[in-house]
A and B are shown apart, each in its own frame.
Chain A
Amino acid sequence: MAEQKASTSIEAVESGLAAQGYIASRQIATAVYLSQQIEKPILVEGPAGVGKTELAKAIAAWRGKKMIRLQCYEGLDEAKALYEWKYAKQLLYTQILKDKLGEVLGGAQTLHAALDQLHDFGDVFFSKEFVEPRPLLQALEQPGGCVLLIDEIDKSDAEFESLLLEILSDFQVTIPELGTVSAITPPTVILTSNSERDLGDALKRRCLHLHIGFPEQRLEERIVESRVPGISQTLRRQMVGFIHEIRSLDLKKLPSVSETIDWARVLVLLQASELDTEIVKDTLNVLLKYEADIEAATPQVTTFIAKAARSNVFG
């Protein structure tokens, strides 16, 4: 019975994401379902532009939860990711309370008593009031849960990974002055990586590892269909076929799904009804982002269009 439920639940995930305009493959849907069931973060890897960040947005929209995004970069540290003391506020308060301070301490007869009173006072300044929550802490404090997107984790330093471990495995953080803050509702955590560097094993172990590659032709057609509704079926087939041919070349940067969608929009704007050499050559710069790539692809354009058209007839 449970098994029946599992496959229907995975289909429910697929259709739920599809309603938000995200066409997920079976594997992606399984990952999303499992991360919900066994409460584990998903680490998404894959080339740029295949919809890693988009996945998190779609999940948030589908579940109706807030999305909190932490963009990683070199030099990101806990003060920017986790929490920070409102240093200026603390300073300002002590300045304002200076007179009060005198009153409080005035009652003390000995230096020892004054010190004791000062200790009580000190704790006031390291309370929740003065903590500035950054994305990670914010995510834990959302009462209804949220989707936490830790974007491009590979761009951050290796030390930052270790900071994440506590959050990823137990959904809690430890602030030395305050104690441990646990999540009210465990957030859905999505980490993305472009594999610029290899992530540590400790981090990988705590996550479900999902690799999103370039989609198959059928799937990509469905993605274009959902994102660019105005495009005709013949053109859609041709252009996706063409892009699959382009991906077989040795290019610096292969066009990914986001480029496919951009190109589809451009073709619709130009009111093209089908691919021809002229229009492809004019719009190739939407697909390919390096001059050298465009040069390499240009001589192949005619052949690729013919191939795409032929596969269209049989497919």
Chain B
Amino acid sequence: MRENLHRFFRAARGAGVHVSPAESIDAMRAVAQVGLTDRTILRDALLLTLAKSQDEKLALGDCFDLFFSQPEPPQEQPQASKDDASQDADQPPSSGSASEAGGGQPTEGLGPLAQMLLSQDRNAIQAAIASASGAASLSDIRYSTQRGIFSSRILDAMGLQRLRDDLDELTANNPALAERLRAALDGLREAVRDTVSQGLALYAREEAENLRNEILRNAPLARIERRQVAEMRALIRQIARRLRERYSKPRKRQRRGHLDVRRTLRRNAAWGGVPFLTAWKRKHRDRPKIVALCDVSGSVAQVSDFFLLLIHSLHEVVDDVRSFAFSSHLIEVSEILEKKSPEEAMAEIMSTVGFGSSDYGSSLVDFERDFMSTLTPQTTVIVLGDARSNNLDPRADILRRISERSKRLVWLNPEGRLAWGFGDSEMPRYATFCSVVRQCATAQQLERAVSDIVAIYQ
């Protein structure tokens, strides 16, 4: 059973549940306590010891059900030992020992696999497949492209070579039996393929998902294919959740161990300066204040979707966020982003100001006229846009005033550094007034940028 549990732990890791050695030891101890007879109790016990969140519990529950729907390896089946055919299966196939299983049938001199197939003993065949997949270490399967090699490894372990020899011999001597055997072999191939597919589903899920996500994280946002948009959204939401977990709770950090002498003396004046009560120094930390300006014009339409999604998540992380969207003029969108779900909010913003031709100058004028007073020396201003202003006046002077009034001015540009300053890009003129200018074309860069911005307030 221990072997089985170990395989289950691997399957659980495949399902995305992190099972450390210590946890597997705990699970073993728990299983030793509750036993194996009652499957629901076993399931509960494994869920209690291995899963560490509600999501993991669901994943692990599915994994458990899938795992135990497999036929168990032969040593677990008490009836297997009584079964002649499966006893053969347990022996190395090369031994080729003759057995009485065939009885009166003309199967003498055939290998164990051929005999098993001809006797059509389903249990024995399943058991043989299971033990062969153990020998071929099916639990190492990672990618769907490995299906072929694992199938052939399992078939080899079951003694395919011997079966082929038998088949050649029979074709000459006993064509009818050969035909039967060939049909049975096709059935066997199919069964093995199913086993491998199930193994793939069990053991390879995490790896495949990681690979896909990794590719997606580094793909340029502007060139995402339509079918990947949903996945990308999910990924950005994951990033947002991670940011929220890391930064949502403002930490009060005391500089413990540093006595505040002045306050201590004052507090203990009543006892003649004998320090009964102590006072400690505290570090003062700014509360995060963020103002985000997001370009939603036609030139960045592909990317602005994701920008808005990220700003939406910023609203959840930080209390004091005001966000603005602009193409030819600028409006405040804080309320829309706060009240509505990401999809609704994005649709509404895009329909009000989206897809216009961008005019950074007049948008900045709008901002200065109506919202300049929201900036304080604690504010971080984030501008998301390509700085392509259609050769209109960029009004860089307003950006200078914004940068003077705020703590930091961060510009995130979806275009690469090479494109800055070419065509109607005003990036070099704006860049002089920014504390940081970063390229921000992939999900990963987006995450890093936002994480850095929020981190300075921690």
Contact = CB atoms under 8 A, between A and B. Distances in A.
Interface string A71-103: 000110000000000011001000000000000
B49 A6 contact: no
Given A34-B30, A38-B26, A211-B54, A26 B40 contact: yes
Interface string B1-43: 0000000000000000010101100100110011111101100
A174 to B, nearest CB: 18
Contacts of B40: 26
Contacts of A3: 34-38
A3 B32 CA distance: 9
B53 interface: yes
A3 B35 CA distance: 5
Interface stretch (A115-123, A198-206, A253-261, A277-285): A198-206
A157 interface: yes
A17 to B, nearest CB: 16
A4 B26 CA distance: 21
Interface residues of B, number: 33
B252 A6 contact: no
B276 A198 contact: no
A2 interface: yes
A256 B44 CA distance: 23
Contact of B35 (A2, A88, A197): A2
Contacts of A204: 52-53
Contact of A209 (B36, B52, B245, B276): B52
A45 interface: yes
Interface string A58-77: 00000000000000001100
Nearest to B44: A30
A52 interface: no
Given A6-B41, A88-B276, A209-B53, A34 B22 contact: no
A286 interface: no
Interface string A6-24: 1100100000000000000
Given A3-B37, A27-B44, A30-B44, A197 B245 contact: yes
B249 A10 contact: no
A26 to B, nearest CB: 7
Interface in B267-281: 274, 276, 278
Interface string A33-61: 11001101000010000000000000000
B48 A31 contact: yes
B248 interface: yes
B52 A205 contact: yes
A34 B34 contact: yes
The 7 closest A-B pairs by CB, nearest first: A3-B35, A204-B52, A30-B44, A6-B34, A208-B48, A37-B33, A3-B37
7 contacts: A2-B33, A3-B37, A26-B44, A33-B34, A38-B26, A205-B23, A209-B57
Interface of A: 2-4, 6-7, 10, 26-27, 30-31, 33-34, 37-38, 40, 45, 74-75, 87-88, 91, 157-158, 196-198, 201, 204-205, 208-211
Interface of B: 18, 20, 22-23, 26, 29-30, 33-38, 40-41, 44-45, 47-49, 51-54, 57, 245, 248-249, 251-252, 274, 276, 278
Given A30-B34, A40-B26, 17 more contacts: A3-B38, A7-B34, A7-B37, A10-B41, A26-B44, A27-B44, A27-B47, A30-B41, A30-B45, A34-B30, A34-B34, A37-B33, A75-B252, A91-B274, A197-B245, A208-B48, A209-B49
